[in-house]
């Protein structure tokens, strides 16, 4: 039975979460735009996957390595929960609000919108 990528990231990121933290959204991004895959196979060697785990208390940016997006290995950054991530647009949206640029595929745009919608109105 196949495990959904969001569920796999939630399961594998539990070691980075506090006892009273609950995951609200999971977003996967990568360091290099997916469009580079059309131009050269070498982008595979330059790319790294990052999982963005949005909890009720904070936002964690986790490094998942070069080959898989489902197994977070370490915490790259921790941001306050009040950070607005989006709004996303396009097929490969370049997100710069999480500390450094991260390309997020349209598949995860609904998760960005959901995480931002949970923020209190300013």
Where residue 107 sits, what CATH number does that domain have? 2.30.29
Could you tell me if residue 107 is inside a domain? yes
Identify whether 80 is part of a domain: yes
What's the pTM?
Answer: 0.88
Average pLDDT, the chain: 89
Q: Which domain holds residue 19?
A: 5-117
pLDDT at residue 1 in the model = 39
- Please state, in angstroms and as integers, the Cα–Cα distance from residue 1 to each residue in 4, 6, 21, 24, following that order: 10, 15, 28, 24
Reported as a single tens digit per residue, the pLDDT across 83-110 is 999 999 999 999 999 998 999 999 999 9
**Distance of alpha carbon 27 from alpha carbon 64, whole angstroms:** 12
Number of domains in the chain: 1
Whether 122 is covered by a domain: the verdict is no
CA distance 77 to 62: 7
Q: Could you read off the pLDDT of 36-74 as tens digits, one per residue?
A: 666 666 666 778 999 999 999 999 999 999 988 889 999
pLDDT of 2 above 70: no
Q: Which two tokens stand for residue 46?
A: 């330059």
pLDDT in the model for residue 32: 82
pLDDT of residue 35 exceeding 90, the answer is no
């Amino acid at each position: 039975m196949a495990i959904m990528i969001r569920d796999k990231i939630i399961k594998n990121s539990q070691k980075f979460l506090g006892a009273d933290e609950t995951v609200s959204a999971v977003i996967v991004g990568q360091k290099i735009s997916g469009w580079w895959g059309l131009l050269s196979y070498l982008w595979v060697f330059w790319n790294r996957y990052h999982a963005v785990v949005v909890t009720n208390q904070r936002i964690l940016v986790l490094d998942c390595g070069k080959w898989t997006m489902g197994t977070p290995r370490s915490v790259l950054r921790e941001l306050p929960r009040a950070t607005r991530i989006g709004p996303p647009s396009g097929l490969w949206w370049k997100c710069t609000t999480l500390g450094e640029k991260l390309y997020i595929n349209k598949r995860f745009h609904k998760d960005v919108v959901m995480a931002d919608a949970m923020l209190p109105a300013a």
